[in-house]
Chains A and B, each alone.
Chain A
Amino acid sequence: MDTSGRVFELWVYLSTSPLTWLTVTIGAYIAAQRLAALSGFNPIVNPVLISVVLVISILAATGTSYSTYFDGAQFVHFALGPATVALAVPLYRNRTLIRQNFVPVIVALIAGSLTAIVCATGVALLLGAPDSVAISLAPKSATAGIAVGISQQLGGDPALTALFVIFTGVLGAIIVTPLMNLLRIRNYAARGFAAGLTSHGIGTARAFQVNEIAGTFSGLAMALNGILTSAIAAVVLGLLL
């Protein structure tokens, strides 16, 4: 057999191998992280967004289906569940901070969590989006592991929700600092809490770049909002739809 025939045969094998797509997923993310570092961690250069675009381009160029890709990528995807459970650790670590700011934390949590669900779903319905899109939007401020689970249980589209979660995260991370400066808010606990509640992990990563207290409160808001959204999303959506 000639060389090109062998190369072709090898590609036929590799293109359907889970190992290939697992490697591509992690490789794309490392490349995206390098790019983010090169940009001086500009929030617009978001590693998740860049990796998704990179991987989709590779899949499109090689004519690979999502299900073939997912056979490999599922090993990374699986860790989302345990990583969500792991949020208990920063939450527990900051328990003194929660106790000291108990009332503001609870008030802001309830107000913010309700606003996030009602506002996104309400605007989409007003503009004539179908129920499946509106439901997929509802949990978008919660961290991905939780938001996707909520969407699935309520009849939304998990992949669409994943996109909205990332979009909300990146957008919030970009606008939080200019918006808070414009409003002349200098309380970094409040600023961070808003960032984490609205934009989960991506907002938290941004908050830590700005200020240590903001980052801590952001992580706290992300964990609390994940729990609260999963508890109330079904009820709130029942009232809206």
Chain B
Amino acid sequence: MEGLFVILVCQLIGEIVVRTLDLSMPAPALGIVLLLVYLWLADRRAGSGDGVADIRVSGVADTLLKNLGVLFVPLGVGVMQNYRLIYDYAGTIVIAVVVSTIVTLMVTVGAFLLASRLFGAEGTGDGH
């Protein structure tokens, strides 16, 4: 219960800040940053080195993330209201999603590899 409370408080503060400052940013995105700060502070207080000190929060978070898929379903079903729009622009939508997915995968992996080579990051992969 405490873990859930901490997560909800982070989201609530995010909501208050976003609305007060009229930010074009979803409250949960700010909530991630706030929860990071909380976890860091909790770790410093506990004085632990690695891992997450507050296991109440990490327990709730892991449960939520393990069941992330089901949380998309109500939104996905909402598509039934837009079938007209999707039908009209089906070709455009499919091309835009397919092209951007392939290009994004290639650009991201390319940028990662290039930066690893140029800046000699500690290897986690192929040991160049």
A residues lining the B interface (CB < 8 Å):
25-26, 28-29, 33, 47-49, 51-52, 55-56, 59-60, 66, 69-70, 73-74, 76-77, 79-93, 96-97, 100-108, 110-112, 115-116, 119-121, 123-124, 127-130, 133, 137, 140-141, 144-146, 148-150, 153-154, 157-160, 162-168, 171-172, 175-176, 179-180, 183, 185-191, 193-195, 197-199, 201-202, 205, 213, 217, 221, 223, 226-227, 230-231, 233-234
Contacts and interface: CB of A to CB of B under 8 A. Distances in A.
B75 interface: yes
A33 B19 CA distance: 38
B17 interface: no
A194 B108 contact: yes
Nearest to A163: B79
A88 B82 contact: no
A85 B35 contact: yes
Q: How large is the interface on B (under 10, 10 to 19, 20 to 34, 35 or more residues)?
A: 35 or more
Contacts of A96: 50
A233 B23 CA distance: 12
A129 B52 CA distance: 46
Contacts of A190: 109, 112-113, 116, 125
A55 B128 CA distance: 49
Nearest to B65: A86
A33 B73 CA distance: 13
B32 A108 contact: no
Label chain B's interface by main secondary structure: helix
B19 to A, nearest CB: 11
Given A127-B95, A193-B108, A160 B86 contact: yes
B109 A82 contact: no
Contacts of B25: 149-150, 153, 230-231
A85 B34 CA distance: 9
B126 A76 contact: no
Given A66-B77, A93-B58, A193-B109, 14 more contacts: A55-B77, A59-B80, A84-B31, A85-B32, A101-B116, A101-B122, A102-B121, A104-B119, A124-B93, A133-B92, A144-B72, A158-B78, A197-B108, A205-B69
Given A119-B103, A133-B85, A137-B97, A89 B61 contact: yes
A166 B69 CA distance: 10
Given A123-B95, A160-B79, A107 B24 contact: no
Nearest to B64: A83
Contact of B28 (A73, A137, A149): A149
Given A82-B11, A160-B86, A213-B125, A92 B26 contact: no
Contact of B73 (A28, A150, A171): A28
Contacts of A179: 102, 105-106
Interface string B98-128: 1111111111111111111011011011101
Contacts of A33: 69
Contacts of A74: 74
B51 interface: yes
Contact of B96 (A105, A124, A141): A124
Interface string B1-39: 000100110110010000000001111110111111011
